Amino acid sequence: MNDLNNLCPPKEIAAIDADGKSIGFNMPSEPLTCSLLRVLAASKPAGNFLELGSGTGVSTAWILDGMDVNSRLTTIDNEESLLQILRQHLGSDPRLTVVCGDGDQIVPSLAGQEFDFIFADAWPGKYRFLDKTLSLLKSGGIYVIDDMLPQPNWPEGHEQKATALIADLENRSDLKLVKMSWASGIILATKL
């Protein structure tokens, strides 16, 4: 079995990738991670989804591809130039709300909302405001993070942060999780 065969990426991916490369963006989520996000999104009909760290919209496109017509996705990033690419290719989708802002301010402002699925691909929601982010997750909701295996672009000392995050998640009594040494290293958790 080759897990890279027949991924069937959303039709917008080639153009989003090309536009991202044209501005020097080289950190989109990888296809294997995105294919998992699509399948997980499909498991939550009429779901309320949150993506922290939109980038140019690569993972956004895959999540949208898995969502049904009654689902909603809010995606947040602090870099307007990246969100311009996302909006150009995905902005007409009525299920999508795009927010440009500082996740450190936005995550706390979401208190009281509930999400069926959170993909945290930014420091807010992953390395910062973890408790606040997980408090937004419904019981039975899915929390996903990637890039948990050592990455060539990690700054000095980041491996210790990743190790501490993994230990924190492993020791929580409100989650069941699985750590996957697959793709860029994924942790998938469900809130009890």
User: In the prediction, which pLDDT does 166 show?
Assistant: 97
CA distance 126 to 108: 13
User: In the prediction, which pLDDT does 155 show?
Assistant: 84
User: In the prediction, which pLDDT does 79 show?
Assistant: 96
User: In the prediction, which pLDDT does 120 show?
Assistant: 98
SS3 45: coil
Fold of 27-191: Rossmann fold (3.40.50)
SS3 159: helix
The set of long-range contacts for 1-9, using a CB threshold of 8 Å and a minimum separation of 24, is 3/32, 4/31, 4/32, 7/31, 7/32, 7/35, 9/34, 9/61, 9/62
CA distance 126 to 67: 23
CA distance 108 to 125: 10
User: In the prediction, which pLDDT does 69 show?
Assistant: 98
User: In the prediction, which pLDDT does 175 show?
Assistant: 97
Of the candidates 159, 151, 160, which has an alpha carbon nearest to the alpha carbon of residue 183? 151
Range list of H helices, the chain: 13-22, 31-42, 58-66, 80-90, 103-109, 130-135, 158-170
Query: If the chain, 192 residues long, is cut into consecutive pieces of 10 residues, what is the mean pLDDT of each piece?
Result: 84 96 90 96 98 97 98 98 98 98 96 97 96 98 96 87 96 97 95 98
Of the candidates 72, 37, 80, 64, which has an alpha carbon nearest to the alpha carbon of residue 186? 37
User: In the prediction, which pLDDT does 3 show?
Assistant: 80
State the pTM of this model. Answer: 0.96
SS3 175: strand
Instruction: For tokens 């019981």, name the residue.
Output: 139
